Structure 1
Amino acid sequence: MQPDKRNHLIDLLRILAASWVVFFHLNQPIKPIDNWYRNFCKYGHLGVPVFFIISGYCILIALHHAKKPTEFAVRRFFRIFPPYWFSLVITAGIVLLLKVINHVNSVAVLPKNISGILATITLTTTPITDIKTINWVYWTLSYEVFFYLAVFACAFFKKQYFIIALTVVTLLSIVLPRFESGPLFFLNLWPLFSLGVALYQLLHQPAYKWFNIALLAFTAVDFYATHQSYIYIVLCLITGALIVINHFKPLKNNLLSRYGDVSYSLYLVHVPIGIYLLGHLKTTAIQTNVALNIVFDVAILIFLVFISGLMHRYIELPAIKYGKRFGK
């Protein structure tokens, strides 16, 4: 029997974070109600920082699997963009369908000109430019792409100079003002990504211990500089601690971790399908009853996971294979 090489904790964190974001968005558009479940859901946006920490950790794994920086870049391109483009088709299709039915576009802003279309296709909408996205969640993908570009640029440095280059980026994140848009916007959330990178380096590249410790220290300073909420910081610390613990005592395969692979597709389609298309089914009676609200949200999540599984199988996996082929 071959050893299990999957990181089941990462898979588990992915599906839990994605599900929390889904619950957050399913309850965001409706009237606020004070109960324990809605209070839990309102913090679902914190699934995003968990994603970014995981991304920082996993991107170093992907980088070390690539033989050269260009191979890394090609693989990342095929990992991100084909599923994203497919979700654009789904989103635009649902928006147009609802416009035909309701005779008004009340759910999303479709690009109105060539520059808007190009920005949408290339993920250069908000926060990079002032062009709005047609799906609430796409802004995080713009951050992800720029994180990848930063790592790609640093990857041309060898050995300890690579980690020094990443540390310089972290220092820039500390000393430069926060930009809401423009080419340096990604530095706003850089400490999340940097935390994942620093943890990977400490756990897997011990030869550069002091460089790695320096990166982690500057990341901590960067966290302080962002003035985030207490629960935000605690959740990030818990995520980092779990990654470290899992390195020494790996989590075994479990039911939830098996769905980690569909988390990206789930993240991409949950707004157009779960909210634009099915959100109107959540009546006032469902919204005001905790049990019914939970049952409704879980049912929508299960349906979305099913759709995401199909998308992962027929869109994501073939794209990943093409990335491996063209990246060589």
Structure 2
Amino acid sequence: MGCSHSLSIPHHYAHIRTKEEKTFKFSYLALVDHIVLLRQVVAHPEMNQPGETLNYFIKDYCRRFASRGIRTKRQQRRLPWQIEWIWHVHRLHPVEYHTDFSTLWSNDELFDKKYTRLRLRKHNRNHAIRLAKVKSSSTKFIPSLDLESAVLRQRDFLEKFKQHTIYSSNLSQYSQNAFEQMVQNYISFLKLAREGEMIVPTFDIDLIWHTHMRFPSSYRKACIALCGFVLNHNDAIEVDTLKDAYEKTADRLMHTYNVSYGKDVPVDRLRETQYISSCAIIVAPISTNSCDGAGGDCGDVGGCGGGCGGGGGCGGGCGGCGGCGGD
């Protein structure tokens, strides 16, 4: 499963409107880019196992991060997928990512994703990895989280991904309605969050949430607009805690939307809920242009999407594969 199908990918956008009439958009191409990367990681288990290969690419990523080697579209286009994976895991911790970035460049804008890869080049697949000596950097960078441990914690998510139909689906045939509903389910999930309480989403929501966090600047702006604070992501929560929180989340969702957890939340029902004053819903039709390749706009995310799949918690916000807290 090294790459997406070769047919053109539909250029869907889900548009979200808040109660303040602010609008955001979430690109289906950003989701495809994410899935393509996950498929590649699944095909190369050395990138989620402790060892020389993983350590090599973590060191190389830190060097590139410290030297601004992942900032531009051109730099991102040339990134090895292994570096893209480490960068992805770093961004799954938005508070720590922002802290690390601000420590190096206090007044600069976050390194955001500018290049969307809809398929992998042939030389990136099924080839032995050659480990060269990592070049030294004049700027020492030590992440605020243990990147190796963070990568290893993604193994559970990857196992769930392999069991999901989207792992082997033809992404060029995914309908706009299905994509819209995935984003709407996440928005509805966000509105369950309460300050200081833990909520745990489903895998489908987790997949979208992870996609959203791949665009740090857009993610922060959307979180502030939708929830009033930046939602952090904590994937290191004990299983028993997650199970209890998941059951409470399911009860809260049923009480709020009268829908069983894991089922789609109808937009019409959102207009009837007690949370209507704070609701954000999908609006307007989705454009359906096609895009054959990977370009800057293909992965554009300007709003909401996000979620979590087995896990979560909140300390001031929305939950996830681990948890969330206010920033």
| TM-score, normalisation: structure 2 | 0.29
Give the number of the structure whose residues are more often helix, by fraction. 1
Give the number of the structure whose residues are more often strand, by fraction. 2
| TM-score, normalisation: structure 1 | 0.29
